[in-house]
Structures are given as structure tokens and as C-alpha cells.
């Protein structure tokens, strides 16, 4: 689709973020997803994985300890 509508294509930076998040999800979040659903509990595994990799609350400005990601990256 991005070839037809280049205005809506993700930048290389956003594509890299997408790849990184996919790897984290596949490795650390997906294995626990069924148990989280079945037990109707907070997904602590997902929380921990995102905090560990600095993808938790990416919109927080750098001045406050975040990564200062833009809205699309968030």
C-alpha cells in the first residue's frame, strides 16, 4: 500500500521501531498471552518486557526520563 500512497508510508525510523516491538512481542509477550487471557489478570510479563526495553510509555519527554517518541511511534 505504501507504494501506492507514499505519503502514508512509515519512515525508516518508524519501521525499525515496528520491527523491534514485533521482536519483543514474539519473544516475551506472546508466550504468556493465553495464560493472561485465561486467568483474566494484568499482563505483568508485557509490562516488564516493555519497561526493560524502554518501550513503556514512549511518549514521556526525555526531560522526565522518557524517550520522547512522537505520536506515531507511541
Q: Where are the domains of the chain?
A: 11-64
Task: Tell me the three cell numbers of residue 11.
Answer: 519512515
* C-alpha to C-alpha distance for 73 and 55, rounded to whole angstroms: 10
Q: Are 29 and 43 in contact (CB under 8 A)?
A: yes
Which residues does 58 contact at the CB level (< 8 Å), separation at least 6?
66, 67, 68, 69, 73, 74
pLDDT digits (tens, 9 = 90+) for 29-58: 999 999 999 999 999 999 999 999 989 899
Phi-psi region of 60 (alpha: psi -120 to 50; beta: other; left: phi over 0): beta
Instruction: Check residue 1 and give its pLDDT.
Output: 53
User: pTM value?
Assistant: 0.79
Amino acid at each position: 500500500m505504501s507504494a501506492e500512497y507514499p505519503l502514508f508510508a512509515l519512515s525508516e525510523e518508524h519501521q525499525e521501531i515496528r520491527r523491534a516491538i514485533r521482536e519483543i512481542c514474539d519473544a516475551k509477550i506472546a508466550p504468556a498471552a493465553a495464560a493472561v487471557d485465561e486467568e483474566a489478570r494484568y499482563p505483568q510479563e508485557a509490562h516488564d518486557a516493555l519497561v526493560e526495553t524502554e518501550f513503556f510509555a514512549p511518549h514521556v519527554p526525555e526531560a522526565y526520563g522518557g524517550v520522547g517518541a512522537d505520536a506515531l511511534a507511541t
